Amino acid sequence: MKHFRSIHDVADLPALLASAAAYKADPFRHETLGKGKRLGLMFLNPSTRTRLSTQVAARNLGMEVLVLNAGTEGWALEFNDEVIMNGNTVEHVREAAAVLGAYVDMLGVRTFPALLSREEDYSERVLQQFVEHSGVPILSLESATLHPLQSLADLLTMEEQFKAPRKPKVVLTWAPHIKALPHCVANSFAQWVNAWDAADFVIAHPEGYELDPAFVQQASVEHDQDKALCDADFIYVKNWSSTAQYGKHVCEDPSWMLTPEKLLPTRQAKVMHCLPVRRNLELSAAILDGPQSIVIEQAANRVWAAQAVLAEILKGLA
């Protein structure tokens, strides 16, 4: 694996999932694989889980880790070419990425979308500029439109939680929020579940919140949440901002919040969320504190997903 930006960088998804499960069973099985290699983690936006799980994963492989909180501690970056830098930006990504690439063997980058222009966000210009100018493998720690490390952990979680000899029904449901949030987790979850090809997959959301057909693919789309949840084995709760009015926060409909009553017609569905979650806004506290929530197991699995991906990139460096 050269870079890790989306499912398209994964040659063999079942093998990557098996690798993550093997690291979970034996975290130090390749504790010298990354000896002498340095991972840089650059955060243009906040993170708890991705930041820490990726560090743990790298150290399990014997790597050294450098963290740069570029959004708060680094120089303000410029991403436009042909620009006269007489505004607030201090350093162009062309220099910044090249310098970081001189210090590390691979570089993780977290960046969020501006949610001002769909075309701009979906071009993934920021992440791609690190690919072009750093000279080292780039690991997405969540980009403008995708969150592949989260999605790999999500699939690992569902694989280990579901043992019935049939396909699980997986429902990705939109949830209310007070802010306009990125599409990344929803897009990426849809992309990876479709590639997994091991579930009956339904996406439920209010009208105007359609995900890109490139990610929806063969999933069924429902605007009636109760209908979508019927017989569900897994329910993935996530807010994303409007598509029809791109990046806008136009719906707060509280009836879309998942509550214990909505779980009754499911097959005792396990409830997932990438976290952080706003209690009693996106998801009821009664569910989060109850036996059907697997959000902590899901977050814990972020380590093994990151370790499997880092190991694949390391093998490419050898």
Residues that bind ligand CP (CB under 6 A): 47-51, 142, 150, 274-275
Q: How far is the CB of 237 from ligand CP (least distance, A)?
A: 13
Q: How far is the CB of 189 from ligand CP (least distance, A)?
A: 11
Beta strands, E only, the chain? 38-43, 64-68, 77-78, 91-92, 106-110, 138-140, 169-174, 200-204, 220-222, 234-238, 270-272
Q: 5 or 49: whose CB is closer to ligand CP?
A: 49
Q: How far is the CB of 303 from ligand CP (least distance, A)?
A: 12
Q: Please enumerate in sequence order all residues whose Cβ is within 8 A of that of 240, keeping only pairs 6 or more positions apart, or say none.
A: 174, 181, 182, 183, 185, 186, 205, 209, 211
Q: How far is the CB of 170 from ligand CP (least distance, A)?
A: 18
Q: 45 or 217: whose CB is closer to ligand CP?
A: 45
Query: What does the alpha-carbon distance between residue 289 and residue 101 come to, in Å, rounded to a whole number?
Result: 43
Q: 50 or 266: whose CB is closer to ligand CP?
A: 50
Q: How far is the CB of 267 from ligand CP (least distance, A)?
A: 26
Q: 51 or 278: whose CB is closer to ligand CP?
A: 51
Q: 100 or 274: whose CB is closer to ligand CP?
A: 274
Q: 33 or 139: whose CB is closer to ligand CP?
A: 139
Query: What does the alpha-carbon distance between residue 28 and residue 63 come to, in Å, rounded to a whole number?
Result: 12
Q: How far is the CB of 282 from ligand CP (least distance, A)?
A: 13
Please choose, from the candidates 233, 150, 226, the residue with its C-alpha nearest in 3D space to the C-alpha of residue 186.
Answer: 150
Query: What does the alpha-carbon distance between residue 57 and residue 304 come to, in Å, rounded to a whole number?
Result: 7
Please choose, from the candidates 237, 229, 292, the residue with its C-alpha nearest in 3D space to the C-alpha of residue 262.
Answer: 229
CA dihedral 286, 290, 295, 301 (to 10 degrees): 170
Please choose, from the candidates 197, 200, 198, 201, the residue with its C-alpha nearest in 3D space to the C-alpha of residue 186.
Answer: 201
